[in-house]
């Protein structure tokens, strides 16, 4: 553990909060199985219900519509695969955007193998789903549309509301799923205003623990993807991760959705980098950004080399999404945006948390400039 690290990889994961850790410890005493009929079980069930209320309130929804999962990946799989299979009689078209997280893209590819008519909607150069293109793909036979709220590589906010009204009009049998893993706790979300039917969220992106998430379902008509139990109405069987769930609620309660503060941090980092390093390019829309992510291409370097060089300075950033960083491939998000290969090679993702300070940003920017100069010298 590096003591003086400047952690700027909050889109990959966040540091668990004090409140989350305290809440997690509650299971040492309240260790009952929420499905048990005795008092210990009932107390555990009650704790889960309270956590549901806290989390559902953050979405402007009902606690009864919230189903806990093992994280955002499972929530996305349950939403896309479960909703498509349950609605197959109504049609076979499934539409997902080209910049979705792999847990949506690969779920869609699984449906393709099952014979569904899967379409990938393109994005603009600014990293937003092309609304005309996606509208052209929506047919009355469409059963699932999945468009994320905030992209994990660029921080770009997607036009979900506009897509939602197009889906309602042109595909009455379809559900709209929205992966809100990168927006929950960062942007204010109201499920009705957003217009989504299904929403995925994950605890470890908001200072909770890894391995717990949830799918909010306005309409619970989804086929389970895990079998063998009656928990959560049999839609998501398996004994609930109570400690993780309590910590998730504690972390959610502490989120302030302070978009202006995040945007300030992002703008400061962009300005510092522009002042210190020549030949850089910010990727993704500036106007539609959550502020939590800055994706920047530094020309003439390899992002991976910079990332490792920065470890010497105690600065932690990322090359793209953490999930794909073990098998280096050009980012599918930047590729879909039409970013040139040279810029993709030098693209880094810097992501902030509420705790990131101005001082940390300035120090990190200086370290990035120093290491970039070094790398450029020999590349
Ligand atoms: C947009 C998005 N969706 C889904 C996930 C997966 O969430 P989890 O790590 O909880 O499985 C991530 C994590 O990187 C993400 O950024």
Same domain? For 41 and 185 the reply is yes
Q: Of the candidates 202, 230, 253, which is a domain's last residue?
A: 253
Nearest CA to ligand 1 atom 9: 72
Same domain? For 28 and 157 the reply is yes
Per-residue pLDDT, 4: 83
Which are the contacts of 252, defined by CB distance < 8 A and separation ≥ 6?
54, 55, 58, 184, 185, 206, 208
When the pLDDT of each residue in the chain is averaged and rounded to a whole number, the result is 96
Residue 143 covered by a domain: yes
Same domain? For 248 and 314 the reply is no
Same domain? For 142 and 248 the reply is yes
CATH code for the domain in which residue 237 is found: 3.40.640.10
Q: Of the candidates 253, 271, 294, which is a domain's last residue?
A: 253
The pair of three-digit structure tokens given for residue 49, joined into one six-digit string? 């219900």
Q: Which residue among 178, 180, 255, 323 is the active-site one?
A: 323
pTM: 0.97
Same domain? For 267 and 322 the reply is yes
Same domain? For 243 and 271 the reply is no
Residue 178 is among the residues annotated as catalytic for this protein: no
Same domain? For 173 and 307 the reply is no
Whether the predicted pLDDT of 173 surpasses 80:
yes
CA distance 362 to 358: 6
CA 318 to ligand 1 center in whole angstroms: 15
Residue 240 covered by a domain: yes
Domain count, the chain: 2
Same domain? For 134 and 263 the reply is no
Residue 325, ligand 1, Cβ within 6 A = no
What average pLDDT score do residues 260-286 get?
Answer: 97
CATH code for the domain in which residue 274 is found: 3.90.1150.10
CA 373 to ligand 1 center in whole angstroms: 33
**CA-closest candidate to residue 197, choices 181, 178, 169:** 178
Same domain? For 248 and 299 the reply is no
Residue 181, ligand 1, Cβ within 6 A = yes
Nearest CA to ligand 1 atom 14: 12
Residue 290, ligand 1, Cβ within 6 A = no
Per-residue pLDDT, 326: 63
Beta strand spans in the chain (E): 6-7, 66-69, 93-97, 117-121, 142-146, 175-179, 198-202, 213-217, 280-282, 293-298, 315-316, 347-351
Same domain? For 283 and 314 the reply is yes
| Domain hosting residue 125, numbered range | 18-253
Residue 47 covered by a domain: yes
Residue 1 covered by a domain: no
Q: Cβ(247)–Cβ(23) under 8 Å?
A: yes
Per-residue pLDDT, 378: 87
The CA distances from residue 200 to 141, 209, 247, 262, in Å, are 24, 16, 17, 22
CA 181 to ligand 1 center in whole angstroms: 6
Per-residue pLDDT, 313: 96
Measured between alpha carbons, how far apart are the two ends of the chain, in Å?
31
Same domain? For 100 and 160 the reply is yes
Q: Of the candidates 220, 253, 286, which is a domain's last residue?
A: 253
Nearest CA to ligand 1 atom 5: 72
The percentage of residues in the chain with a pLDDT greater than 70, rounded to a whole number, is 97
Whether the predicted pLDDT of 1 surpasses 60:
no
CA 202 to ligand 1 center in whole angstroms: 7
Same domain? For 235 and 149 the reply is yes
Q: Which atom of ligand 1 is nearest to the CA of 12?
A: 14
């Amino acid at each position: 553990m590096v003591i003086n690290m400047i952690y700027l990889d909050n889109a990959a994961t966040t540091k668990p909060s004090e409140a989350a850790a305290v809440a997690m410890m509650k299971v040492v005493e309240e260790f009952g199985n929420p499905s048990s009929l005795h008092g210990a079980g009932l107390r555990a069930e009650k704790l889960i219900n309270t956590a549901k209320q806290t989390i559902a309130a953050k979405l402007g929804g009902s606690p009864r519509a919230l189903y806990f999962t093992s994280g955002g990946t499972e929530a996305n799989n349950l939403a896309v695969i479960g909703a498509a299979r349950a609605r197959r009689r109504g049609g076979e078209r499934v539409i997902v955007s080209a910049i979705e997280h792999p847990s949506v893209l690969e779920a869609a590819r699984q449906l393709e193998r099952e014979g569904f008519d899967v379409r990938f909607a393109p994005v603009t150069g600014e990293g937003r789903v092309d609304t005309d293109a996606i509208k052209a793909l929506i047919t009355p036979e469409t059963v699932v549309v999945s468009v994320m709220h905030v992209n994990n590589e660029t921080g770009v906010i997607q036009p979900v509301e506009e897509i939602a009204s197009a889906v309602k009009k042109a595909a009455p049998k379809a559900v709209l799923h929205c992966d809100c893993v990168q927006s929950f706790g960062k942007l204010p979300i109201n499920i009705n205003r957003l217009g989504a039917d299904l929403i995925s969220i994950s605890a470890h992106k908001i200072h909770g623990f890894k391995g717990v998430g949830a799918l909010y379902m306005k309409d619970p008509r989804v086929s389970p993807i895990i079998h063998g139990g009656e928990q959560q109405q049999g839609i998501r069987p398996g004994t609930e991760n109570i400690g993780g769930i309590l910590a998730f609620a504690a972390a959610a309660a502490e989120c302030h959705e302070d978009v202006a503060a995040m945007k300030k941090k992002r703008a400061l980092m962009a300005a510092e980098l522009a002042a210190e390093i020549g030949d850089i390019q910010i990727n993704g829309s500036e106007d539609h950004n959550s502020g939590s992510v800055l994706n920047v291409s530094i020309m003439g370097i390899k992002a991976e080399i910079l990332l490792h060089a920065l470890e010497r300075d105690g600065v932690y950033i990322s090359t793209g999404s953490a999930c794909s960083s073990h098998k280096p491939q050009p980012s599918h998000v930047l590729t879909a945006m039409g970013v040139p290969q040279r810029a993709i090679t030098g693209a880094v993702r810097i992501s902030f948390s509420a705790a990131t300070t101005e001082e940390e940003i300035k120090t990190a920017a200086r370290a990035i400039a120093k290491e970039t100069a070094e790398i450029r010298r020999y590349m």
